[in-house]
Structures are given as structure tokens and as C-alpha cells.
Amino acid sequence: MAERTLEALLHVRYAGRSEELPLSKLGLSWQASDAEIKQAVARHLDVACNQLASYVVVRTSQAIIVRPEALYG
């Protein structure tokens, strides 16, 4: 039976869009820092890195998520 390898994913929410990308497409590994992740996402989206300054990076067992900071109240 063939073994299936799951590739690590990055899920990004930006400007009303959601996109899932393999970390390898961004040149990242699971150990990348938040700053490295934001820089790679900014390059992919073709935006200035400072546009992601308030975004948070969340690591789950299944993916890395880059999303706007949640504001309550």
C-alpha cells in the first residue's frame, strides 16, 4: 500500500480572501519564525510586509494560520 505524506500547509486570510498554500511553495519550514512567515506571505500576496504587522500567526497541529488580529468589544 502506498504511503501518503501530508505536506504542511499555511492558511492565510487577507483582504476578504482565504488561501491555503504548502509551506514549501513559500520556501518555509514548520520551524519558521513569525517574522519569516509574514515576510513570505507578503511576498506571495505582493504587498508590503508592514500591511501584515497586526496579523497573528497561529500554529495548530494541522496548519499555520496567518490572520487579522481579532478585536472584541
68 CB neighbour count, 10 Å cutoff: 12
Please state the pTM of the whole predicted model: 0.85
Question: Looking at beta carbons, which pairs linking 32-37 to residues 24 or more positions away fall under 8 Å?
Answer: 37/10, 37/64, 37/66
Task: Supply the DSSP symbol for 61.
Answer: S
Residue 26 has pLDDT above 90, yes or no: yes
Average pLDDT across the chain, whole number: 91
pLDDT at 73 over 70: no
Residue length of the chain: 73
